[in-house]
A and B are shown apart, each in its own frame.
Chain A
Amino acid sequence: MLFRVLLLAVMVAVLSSCSNATDDIGDKVESLFKQVTGQPEVVEVEDRTISSSESVSSSSDANSSTEESIVLADNSAYSSEGVSASESTNSESSSSESSPSSESSSSSESSSSSESSSSSESSSSQTSSSSSEAEESQVAIIEKSPLEGLSESGVSFTLYFAYDGYDIDDETTKQIIAHANFMRDNSGYRLRLEGHADERGTREYNLALGENRALSVKDVLGLYELASRIDVVSYGEEKPISTDHNESAWKQNRRVEFIYESN
């Protein structure tokens, strides 16, 4: 449940930046997470990017990540080590390492130095509360779980669908593949796919429609032999993101949500 809250919050922030993600995002995400899981010390490097891009997102993110740090605070050896490491990188500031995720969101991958300046610019301009918040996220970064890494990589945890539709397009497929790679590399997680519909049409039909959307996503993940770790549920039109009665609300509500649960 904690994950769910956390993910939803992060998801919203990440979503806007990843909407124009590039073709190679899946591969990139895969490689990122091999690094993340294989070598914990690399995490800080990735985190630099995240702290700059994440600071864009709302303060609730910072709150949730501090919560996360409290939960994991028992792991003293690792965390103290991490704190020192992260503080040092913090003092280096967000110049050299701040590239990957911000790049992946801003499409073309070029030299990291040129990108870094723009991303640091954006981070400084967008973080009005600045330093204290950055410190908070620094602390959180240390204990980052693979799941946080996934959410911070620009992968969307919510996929959207056309009216009365449950087809998966190419762009959606890429997102799903990123999740597939994550699941393959992190066998400790189960995935709950929640299908939803907009308010138009009848409730029972929408319940069926929502399940078909989640099942479509599961079908793609099934190609990676992950089906046994996936639960599918549908809420139909009962849990809308927006309760307005217009197209922009309906668009947000026709969706499948990815909710990871650790075993």
Chain B
Amino acid sequence: MKKLFIFCLFFYSGIATAVLEVTILKRAENAFPIVIAPFEVVGNAEQGKAIAKIMSDNLNRSGRFNASSAMSVFHSEDDINFKAWQANNTEALVFGKVEQVSKTIFNVWVYLYDTYSKKRLYADKFAVHNSGIRRISHFLSDQIYDALLGERGSFDTRLAYVTVFNLADGRREYRLEISDSDAQNAQAILKSNEPILSPAWSPDQRKIAYVHFRNARSEVFIQYPFERRKTHKLPVFDGIASSPSWHPNGKSLLLTLSKNGNKDIYSYDIQTKSVTRITKDPGIDTEASYSADGKRIVFTSNRSGQVQVYIKNLSTNKVSRATFEGKYNSKAVFSPNGKQLALVHRVDKDYRIALLDIATRDLTVLTNNKLDESPYFSPNGGMIIFATNNDDSGVLSVVSIIGGQAFELASKKGEVREPNWSHYLK
């Protein structure tokens, strides 16, 4: 019976022009065993075959599931041999149907069953445009995640990141790209021969703030990827302006400004264009970001003589050092629940991603590479995406908090840098 199941370790790469390729590095044990059967296809609806694959890949990447496919298509509940699935230790089963309605419109049905209780846990039907097949797959992944774990998934979300290509004439091309949460469906929203840094999704996911050297200096821009609206440049400040990150209310940005040469953290109000200083120290303060409740900021500073991570409580104005292990800790971000930090931690000569429990100061190194950078939590806190340096090219990787499952999203052509995970789509 076991031979019936094919464990799908190869990620989907067919639809559209996929830039990134996903590779599984580690597989979690004790993950929730689930089978996602191939969807029944009615009419000319080959695109629908991708749905099961995308869902399976999503669930595996979360580290919470061990998803596999089935040999056969299920048409209804009657096709399920519950005892056989129980014997195979499969706890949940997903099947569905895609039917072509018109040239570009499809109906999608999906069902989720508990193989032990034999109960239907989730069922729904959608009319989907051809272009929405991937989106519905991510949405359904979130539904299954929620139905089985009672938690929100992070699949129907987007990434922003920077890719870099070496051109034949010796120049480099920088691209600001956005993609689905699995790094598929990527589109470049900005191309430039000058560096692009630090993309950050706004909380409403309509805007991306980033640093661009368009004018031969670091300036912060806000772009509207889904609107016919001009990219907005923040006022020119004295010295560098960089490291933008959004307040959870979307009304202001944290920036690093070097007024009079001293790099400190400032808050920039988008409406009033006023600037408020948040840190004041002769050393370098940078890489600031808010906690989800907006009450604290975390930032990098060399005020101790070493590069370390600090937290400022905005209600008490108290600054406290957060990292004590190692000589170099930087670019920290709060986990969505505010209890942990993901950060870059130097181990001997290597820079790796680590997870810090703020209260206990326990530091767990999550990665095993030489040059890891820019960790960022998925919206539900279950995964951390980061950029790393692997075989002379930059790659995106994802590591799950539970299960420690790591995935690589590798660029075939150039480097990939500084991933930023959006909030939930609205």
Contact = CB atoms under 8 A, between A and B. Distances in A.
Interface stretch (B35-43, B103-111, B368-376): B368-376
Nearest to B350: A200
A205 B392 contact: no
Contacts of B243: 204, 207
Interface in A231-249: 232-236, 238-239, 245
A202 B258 contact: no
B353 to A, nearest CB: 11
A234 B418 CA distance: 19
Nearest to A214: B261
A103 B310 CA distance: 52
A203 interface: yes
B213 interface: yes
Contact of B261 (A204, A207, A215, A245): A215
B374 A205 contact: no
A245 B287 contact: no
Contacts of A208: 240, 242, 256, 258, 263, 284, 286
Interface in A212-226: 212, 215
Nearest to B305: A164
Contact of B418 (A203, A212, A236, A245): A203
A209 interface: yes
Nearest to A209: B284
Contacts of B331: 202, 204-205
Nearest to B343: A202
A209 to B, nearest CB: 7
B307 interface: yes
Interface in B375-412: 389, 392
A205 B287 contact: yes
A199 interface: yes
A253 to B, nearest CB: 14
B287 A202 contact: yes
Nearest to B418: A203
B191 to A, nearest CB: 16
A152 interface: no
A211 interface: yes
Contacts of B373: 202-203
Contacts of A164: 302, 307
A239 B166 CA distance: 12
B178 to A, nearest CB: 19
Contacts, number: 87
A238 B192 CA distance: 13
Contacts of B154: none
A200 B344 CA distance: 11
A233 B374 contact: no
Contacts of A199: 371, 389
B357 to A, nearest CB: 21
Contacts of B351: 200-201
A203 B328 contact: no
Interface in A92-124: none
Contacts of A232: 239, 261
B197 A204 contact: yes
B416 to A, nearest CB: 13
B213 A235 contact: yes
Given A207-B218, A211-B240, A211-B263, A202 B197 contact: no
Contacts of A212: 261, 263, 284
Nearest to A232: B239
Contacts of B287: 202, 204-205
B335 interface: no
Contacts of B346: 201
Contacts of B239: 211, 232
A100 B242 CA distance: 46
Contacts of B392: 245
B216 interface: yes
Contact of B197 (A215, A238, A239): A238
Contacts of B374: 202-203
Contacts of A201: 307, 328, 330, 344, 346, 351
Contacts of A215: 261
A239 B217 CA distance: 12
A205 B307 contact: yes
A199 B388 CA distance: 12
A202 B240 CA distance: 16
A200 B218 CA distance: 19
A238 B174 CA distance: 11
B195 interface: yes
Contacts of B344: 201-202
Contacts of B302: 164
A236 B194 CA distance: 13
16 contacts: A201-B344, A203-B197, A203-B198, A203-B373, A204-B198, A204-B256, A207-B218, A207-B286, A208-B242, A211-B258, A211-B263, A233-B240, A234-B240, A235-B213, A236-B195, A236-B218
Shortest 5 CB-CB contacts between residues of A and residues of B: A238-B195, A202-B331, A208-B284, A204-B243, A208-B263
